């Protein structure tokens, strides 16, 4: 199939947290557009299952078991991707966690864990991938924010801080690396049906109905809703789009 502006054949993408949820939805879209994929996560069993599914779409895929909060492990992950897949064109910084407590109940270890997983990891992966992108003449960085990049929530102080930080980190990379033909953008998902939000629905009473009531689209998002935005932001179609923070939320963030 000729994909023109959206063709990713010959490109290589790293997707952190690509073994499930939103990251897997993005990895599937990138693979369908022709990109080879390095799936990065801690749970090797989940990653191997994702790799098998991606390979069935006709691309190369590898599992690189990595804790993205560990700088040495991230550097090794990037080196292995270049060694086995030949180059890096696309980096999706998607790995993330939440610890749901109000600010007065969150301890410093919990704060650090959320900030390191959601924000510091994006810095570590972007910094490690930058030389490889420069070497191939450009690249695409896609960082995953949240509705809590925009709003506050009583139950998510570290998460909201990390996701607000992701937007500003994205803008900084967009400015710093524009001369290298690297575009960096953030995607802000609304409420999406994944393992992360299954736990949220258990912990926050009435959440399911509240999301439905506030969303013009009147549904929760699915991981398949992230294939298109990933392909757009990874492809030449978005070459003049950089530093943007794009909600993919069924209208949740514009509902008055
Ligand atoms: P999941 O829990 O399904 O996925 C999280 C992914 O992150 C897993 O693949 C996990 O892999 C990986 N991960 C977590 N910690 C690490 C780590 N230290 N090192 C490597 N990988 C790690 O959640 P979602 O798909 O929902 O979330 C994906 C992203 O989307 C997150 O950044 C989240 O904040 C964001 N988001 C989600 C929303 C939603 O409604 N679902 C809304 C807004 C934002 P493994 O277990 O193998 O380590």
pLDDT digits (tens, 9 = 90+) for 122-149: 999 999 999 999 999 999 999 999 999 9
DSSP letter at 226? G
Q: Look up residue 52 and give its two tokens.
A: 């098998």
Q: Please give all residues whose beta carbon lies within 6 A of any atom in ligand 1, as ranges.
A: 16-17, 19-23, 41-43, 46, 66-69, 94-97, 117-118, 144, 146, 189, 191-192, 194-197
Residue-level pLDDT at 3: 66
Question: Atom of ligand 1 at shortest distance to CA of 159?
Answer: 34
Q: State the distance from the centre of ligand 1 to the C-alpha of 7, rounded, in angstroms.
A: 26
Q: By alpha-carbon position, which residue is closest to atom 18 of ligand 1?
A: 67
Q: How far apart are CA 81 and CA 165, in angstroms?
A: 27
Q: By alpha-carbon position, which residue is closest to atom 6 of ligand 1?
A: 17
Radius of gyration, CA atoms only, the chain:
17
Q: Look up residue 63 and give its two tokens.
A: 């599992």
Q: Are 84 and 63 in contact (CB under 8 A)?
A: no
Residue 26 CA to its chain's centroid (Å): 8
Q: Indicate if 130 belongs to the active site.
A: no
Residue 173 CA to its chain's centroid (Å): 15
Q: Pseudo-torsion of CA 176, 234, 246, 125, nearest 10°?
A: -50
Tokens 């960096």 -> residue = 184
What is the number of residues in the chain? 256
Q: Which residues of the chain fall short of a pLDDT of 70? A: 1-3
CATH of domain 4-190+223-247: 3.40.50.720
Q: Look up residue 85 and give its two tokens.
A: 């897949």
Q: State the distance from the centre of ligand 1 to the C-alpha of 95, rounded, in angstroms.
A: 4
Q: Which of 111, 159, 191, 226 is catalytic?
A: 159
Q: By alpha-carbon position, which residue is closest to atom 4 of ligand 1?
A: 21
Q: State the distance from the centre of ligand 1 to the C-alpha of 117, rounded, in angstroms.
A: 9
Beta bridge partners of 142: 92, 185
Burial of 246 (0-12, 13-18, 19+ CB in 10 A): middle
Q: What is the mean pLDDT of the chain?
A: 97
Strands 245-248 and 182-189, bridge-based pairing: parallel
Residue-level pLDDT at 1: 46
User: What are the start-end ranges of the H helices in the chain?
Assistant: 21-32, 44-55, 71-85, 108-115, 121-135, 157-176, 195-203, 207-214, 227-234
Q: How far apart are CA 81 and CA 136, in angstroms?
A: 14
Q: What is the pTM of this model?
A: 0.98
Q: Are 119 and 41 in contact (CB under 8 A)?
A: no
Q: State the distance from the centre of ligand 1 to the C-alpha of 211, rounded, in angstroms.
A: 20
Q: By alpha-carbon position, which residue is closest to atom 48 of ligand 1?
A: 42
| 206-232 burial: b if 16+ Cβ within 10 Å, else e | eeeeebeebbeeeebbebebbbebbbb
- Which of 50, 68, 69, 96 should be mutated for ligand 1, with most atoms under 8 A from CB? 96
Q: State the distance from the centre of ligand 1 to the C-alpha of 134, rounded, in angstroms.
A: 27
């Amino acid at each position: 199939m000729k994909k023109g502006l959206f063709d990713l054949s010959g490109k290589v993408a790293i997707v952190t947290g690509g073994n499930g949820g939103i990251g897997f939805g993005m990895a599937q879209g990138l693979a369908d557009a022709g990109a080879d994929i390095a799936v990065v996560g801690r749970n090797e069993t989940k990653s191997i299952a994702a790799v098998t599914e991606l390979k069935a779409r006709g691309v190369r895929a590898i599992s690189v078991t990595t804790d993205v909060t560990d700088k040495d492990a991230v550097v090794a992950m990037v080196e292995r991707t270049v060694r086995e897949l030949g180059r890096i064109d696309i980096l999706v910084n998607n790995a993330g966690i939440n610890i749901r407590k109000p600010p007065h109940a969150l301890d410093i270890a919990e704060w650090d864990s959320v900030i390191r997983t959601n924000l510091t990891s994006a810095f570590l992966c972007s910094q490690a991938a930058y030389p490889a992108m420069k070497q191939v003449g450009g690249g695409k960085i896609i960082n995953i924010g949240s509705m809590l990049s925009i709003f506050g929530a009583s139950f998510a102080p570290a998460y909201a801080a990390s996701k607000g930080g992701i937007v500003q980190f994205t803008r900084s990379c967009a400015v710093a690396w524009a001369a290298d033909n690297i575009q960096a953008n953030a995607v802000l998902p609304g409420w999406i049906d994944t393992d992360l939000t299954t736990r949220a629905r258990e912990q926050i009473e009435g959440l399911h109905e509240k999301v439905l009531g506030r969303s013009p689209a009147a549904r929760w998002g699915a991981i398949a809703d992230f294939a298109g935005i990933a392909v757009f932001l990874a492809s030449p179609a978005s070459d003049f789009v950089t530093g943007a923070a794009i909600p993919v939320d069924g209208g949740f963030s514009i509902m008055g």
